[in-house]
């Protein structure tokens, strides 16, 4: 009966959304995430700096580590084990080991709206990832990423543009410029039905 209720909630978009909001009320309070929008959701808060600014409908998957001074634009998604780190030790003081050299001034790290950062990606502190960009899993992002580009590799480089035409980009810009609103949530992967040809 409990499993049937869970499945019913998972299949109902609004129930799932408000369930997430309820869970995050507790998590935001416990982990002191004061600057995260009520629609922000994460599976795991342990590695997230309490000054994270997360806008509407942002998502962090499991085991993400997010350092200080990070801002995630609306609709941004972080896959599992994404790290937003670095800039935390002075290393160029001749005659002083980095262990004792202190810390430099932190540079803010930002994503625009609708950014998707794949699993295992490392984003170095101080980087800005433009709206609508996608970072491939396992990439190491050391430089700013322009809007609507797909980057991957170590260090990350442009693979291609997200959209083929300026018209597609214009349409997407118009959608992102609107006030963020709830859309259809993706079903959890384990809940998606298997295509008939693969069912045994």
- Active-site residue, selected from the candidate residues 37, 55, 89, 198: 89
Nearest to 142 by CA among 156, 121, 132, 130: 156
Between the CA of residue 71 and those of 35, 47, 109, 136, 142, what are the distances in Å? 9, 15, 6, 20, 17
Helix or strand or coil: residue 36? strand
Cβ within 8 Å of residue 131, ≥6 positions away? 73, 112, 113, 114, 115, 147, 148, 176
Residue 89 known to be catalytic: yes
Active site positions, annotated: 89
């Amino acid at each position: 009966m409990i499993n049937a209720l869970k499945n019913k909630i998972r299949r109902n978009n609004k129930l799932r959304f408000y369930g997430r909001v309820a869970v995050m009320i507790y998590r935001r309070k416990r982990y002191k995430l004061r600057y995260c929008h009520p629609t922000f959701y994460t599976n795991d808060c342990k590695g997230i700096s309490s000054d994270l600014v997360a806008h509407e409908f942002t998502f962090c998957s499991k085991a993400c580590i997010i350092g200080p001074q990070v801002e995630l634009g609306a609709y941004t998604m972080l896959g599992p084990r994404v790290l937003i780190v670095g800039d935390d030790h002075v290393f160029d003081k001749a005659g002083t080991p980095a262990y004792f050299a202190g810390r430099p001034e932190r540079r803010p790290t930002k994503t625009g709206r609708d950014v998707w950062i794949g699993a295992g990606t490392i984003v170095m502190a101080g980087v800005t990832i433009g709206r609508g960009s996608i970072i491939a899993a396992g990439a190491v992002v050391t430089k700013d990423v322009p809007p609507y580009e797909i980057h991957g590799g170590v260090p990350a480089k442009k693979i291609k543009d997200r959209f083929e035409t300026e018209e597609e980009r214009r349409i997407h810009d118009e959608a992102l410029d609107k006030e963020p609103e709830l859309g259809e949530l993706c079903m959890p992967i384990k809940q998606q039905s298997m295509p008939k040809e693969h069912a045994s």
